[in-house]
Amino acid sequence: MLDIYKLGEDVLSEPTTKVTEFDSALKLLVEAMFETMDEAEGVGLAAPQIGVSKRIFVVDTHQSEDERLCFINPEILETSPDLVHYEEGCLSVPGVYHDVVRPSHVTVHAQDLNGKAFTVKAGGLLARVIQHENDHLYGKLFIDRLDKDEHDMMVRVYERRAKSQNKGKKRSRR
């Protein structure tokens, strides 16, 4: 399992570059991303979250109708006009959850591990996760979608939680 970068680390807000080599190193990286996502019990993981500034994310919503998907160089082609609320969290901001408003459906164009182009039309949880992960490729976290007060409150919640967990670690070492 790879380390997951957390809120405050630069790589999470840096822009990503296109994948140009569809080689065995890419396959290994994506495999490690799936494993890391599974281990952390996430439904999606983007490359910046493991410190890699590349346009890659993986998704597994654990819903029978959806497959395990890897999106390389994704582009969201279309979003539906209707918006929906959904409570989101992020492996890079553990312990923090908040409602985020996003389009209910998306059409995404991407490449697979072999560089082959594909298009997915998604609704429901899959559409939600795709949009959340795609934001990571633009250096955006779900809390950046909130208004400033809500955003700042979520940062405080995260920092308080991180602080109390560190204290817990120190205590248990004694």
Active site residues: 133
Q: Minimal CB distance to Ni ion: which residue?
A: 90
Q: Toward Ni ion, which CB reaches closer, 69 or 90?
A: 90
Tell me which stretch binds Ni ion (CB under 5 A): 1-9, 65-73, 87-95, 118-126: 87-95
Give one DSSP letter per residue of 49-90, joined into a string: GGT--BSEEEE----TTSPPEEEEEEEEEEE-S-EEEEEE--
Tell me which stretch binds Ni ion (CB under 5 A): 84-92, 106-114, 117-125, 156-164: 84-92
Element spanning 137, H or E: none
Across 112-136, b (16+ Cβ under 10 Å) vs e yields: ebeeeeeebebeebbbbbbbbbbbb
Nearest distance from residue 135's CB to Ni ion, in Å?
8
Q: Toward Ni ion, which CB reaches closer, 26 or 37?
A: 37
Q: Does 90 bind Ni ion (CB under 5 A)?
A: yes
Q: Point out which residues bind Ni ion (CB under 5 A).
A: 90
